[in-house]
Amino acid sequence: MKTLREIKEVLKGICVSPSLLSCDFSKWAEEIASAKAAGANLIHWDIMDAHFVPNLTFGHPVVKKLRPHSDLVFDVHLMIDDPVTYAPKFREAGADIITMHIESPAFKDAKTVTDTLTGLKNTGCAVGLVVKPKTPAEAIFPYIDLCDIVLVMTVEPGFGGQSFMADMLPKIESIKSEIEKRGLDCALEVDGGVDGETKDLCFKAGATAFVAGSYLFGKPDMAERIKAFYAMEKKQNG
């Protein structure tokens, strides 16, 4: 695992986080290696429990088994009812970044959210909160000072391959504005329907970290597609 300082350094620039939900599960280690070889600097784990979202994926033992096979930043997105209990288990398994839904039932009060974020940060983990499409940006503002990253869902969580929801762009802009207003060192990530066209819309709105699954895995030009993400920053900087 990387140190928090190393993770924060990666998060300062454009981040491309291919989602393993779209990889070939029969060769996980090779797929992670191919993502790195193509230029990805994060790898995204969509953790679903069949309760918080209507799908079931994988648990922390899988993360633990694959951790020794890659030095990429493991970007773990918990779409589960109880991140309070399970987030520490994913950290122990090798997660570098853990993002948790503010809507999770276990986050029953502000203290629980704060304690969970703080506890993970104290282990050297980068932490963040996630908002579903119907959740207003303001729901995370009381905790944004504790976040190293905020994730905006641009589809309803639960399944890969969905269409991008353009009406989420104002939410990205709102969160970016709050981050800048407070002068925070906090990355802004988007997940859902991100492709060659929608990435530009998200970047213009303020996102700097991009989760993409079906757009990247299994594509012969994966490296070129990833390169286009980094090119956005170069173009902006002239």
The distance between the two most distant Cα atoms of the chain, rounded to a whole number of Å, is 47
CA separation for the pair 27, 218 (Å, rounded): 12
- Judging by DSSP bridges, how do beta strands 187-191 and 149-153 pair with one another? parallel
Residue 103: CB atoms within 10 A of its CB come to 17
DSSP, res 56? B
- Is residue 82 within 8 Å of 101, Cβ to Cβ? no
Tokens of 17: 């986080």
Locus of tokens 């990429």: 72
Query: Crossing angle of helices 198-205/169-182, nearest 10°?
Result: 30
Locus of tokens 């790195």: 36
Active site residues: 46, 191
List the beta bridge partners of residue 191.
Answer: 153, 211
